[in-house]
Amino acid sequence: MLWAQIAAMSEHVMICEVGPRDGLQMAKSRMETGAKCDWIAALAKAGVKEIEVGSFVPAKLIPQMADTEAVVRFAKEIPGLVVVALAPNLRGAQAAVAAGAHRVSIPVSVSEGHSRANLNRAPDEQVAVVGQIVEWMESAGNPAEIEVACSTAFGCSIDGVVPEREVVRIAAALAETGVEQIGLADTVGYANPAQIKSVVRAVRREIGPALRGLHLHDTMGLGLANALAGLEVGIRDFDAALAGLGGCPFAPGASGNIVTEDLVFMLESMGFGTGIDLAALIAARRLLHEGLPAEPMHGQVAKAGIPRTYRQAA
């Protein structure tokens, strides 16, 4: 399909900002709670409608997430914002719901090595945990949504190649638990555009519309190319992080997420609507830098400046 034809559709693409969680968990220092909240508020003011604000994990493992409960309670008061929190188990999911998260994101690694390193469980054991969370949510009548991210769906820095059939198998097993939102994560950034298309198509054939979106990293410099490939096969939901922060402490070699600002520029320039004010988004980088002055900040649009030819999609 020609990109001109796609752009003419003026479709909406949802971007979930994951910087406050995925971005900060790898930071060398902790961002103060007040600064984090100011940053999240600025992102929401720029038009970001979904923000993954933190994770309910032991502070001794990821100290940058120790204030997640307070951050969730702040963010849920922002009008129109969908507040997402990551939880690796039932206890974490219960804490996320109690704090007021609108959506709970649960990681399930496809590769054995990453699953053991990240969760101390085999992939199928974590699928069973997801089933427990779904059952608890339903029995308790909780309004929060559940989404699952299939981590290392495109390769693993511990196990190497991850067979496509295994990605499909795990996704199908998750759909069987009753989860209605399943994403594919290039946790270590090893994917290429052809692989993105192949895996997305294979998973969609198996689970249909339960396939929600893509979480991409830019380790090999192919992050935006992979997003473009996802667009071409119908993905309309992406995770990204302001200034390209991020990585996984349990995946050696993983670097930052795709840059939110660059993704917005690409999508809007192509005619897709994101609802995000690019200038305001770039301005939010200042708060991020003030909160974490030692962290490197990436992004070509912020470096070059918004060109005069740029027009936000209607």
What separation in angstroms does the CA of 2 have from each of 7, 8, 23, 270? 9, 10, 34, 11
**In the structure, what pLDDT confidence band is assigned to residue 3 with cuts at 50, 70 and 90?**
very low
Fold of 14-304: TIM Barrel (3.20.20)
**In the structure, what pLDDT confidence band is assigned to residue 141 with cuts at 50, 70 and 90?**
confident
Q: Is the pLDDT of residue 249 over 80?
A: no
Q: Which of 46, 50, 148, 45 is nearest to 93 (CA)?
A: 148
pLDDT at 9: 52
Amino acid found at 167: V
306: CB partners within 8 A, 6+ apart:
265, 278, 279, 282
- Give the dihedral sign, CA 14/259/266/290: positive
pLDDT in tens, 19-49: 999 989 888 889 999 999 999 999 999 999 9
What separation in angstroms does the CA of 298 have from each of 26, 256, 262, 282? 15, 9, 10, 11
**Size (the chain), residues:** 314
**In the structure, what pLDDT confidence band is assigned to residue 4 with cuts at 50, 70 and 90?**
very low
pLDDT at 250: 57
Task: Please tell me what DSSP assigns to residue 9.
Answer: T
Alpha carbons 224 and 206: distance in angstroms, whole number = 26
Contact 186, 150 (CB under 8 A): no
Catalytic residue among 16, 150, 156, 248: 248
CA 194 vs. chain centroid, Å, equals 21
Amino acid found at 169: R
Please state the rounded mean pLDDT for residues 110-125: 95
What are the domain boundaries of the chain? 14-304
Contact 305, 263 (CB under 8 A): no
Q: Is the pLDDT of residue 254 over 80?
A: no
Contact 51, 281 (CB under 8 A): no
CA 301 vs. chain centroid, Å, equals 20
Contact 29, 293 (CB under 8 A): no
Query: Can you give the pTM of this predicted structure?
Result: 0.94
Catalytic site includes residue 248? yes
Which ranges constitute the DSSP H helices of the chain? 3-8, 33-45, 68-75, 90-99, 112-119, 123-140, 164-176, 193-207, 223-232, 260-270, 278-291, 300-304
Strand, helix or coil at 111? coil
